[in-house]
């Protein structure tokens, strides 16, 4: 029952977000060997000015050791 939460800056259309969720669902189902119906995906928009405090400091930086895909940027 994989669940994915995608956080991004605002500005993408509902169609783009739906396509992203569809493609991520396909990749997870194929790679992890589960049914697409078992996958859930949330997309949350975070304002650029809030990214460091709401995402980087609380989720990315503390989890750096367990990230399989690390970001190519820092928020120093």
Q: Which helix (H) or strand (E) covers residue 40, if one does?
A: strand 40-45
CA distances from 38 to 1, 4, 35, 76 (A): 5, 11, 5, 37
SS3 assignment, position 4? strand
Active site residue 71: no
Looking at 2, 10, 62, 71, which residue is catalytic? Answer: 2
Catalytic residue numbers, as ranges: 2
């Amino acid at each position: 029952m994989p669940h994915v939460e995608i956080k991004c800056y605002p500005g993408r259309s509902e169609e783009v977000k739906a396509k992203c969720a569809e493609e991520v669902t396909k990749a997870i189902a194929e790679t992890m060997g589960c049914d697409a119906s078992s996958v859930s995906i949330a997309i949350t928009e975070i304002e650029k000015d809030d990214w460091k405090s709401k995402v980087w400091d609380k989720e990315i930086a503390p989890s750096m050791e367990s990230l399989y895909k690390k970001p190519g940027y820092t928020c120093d």
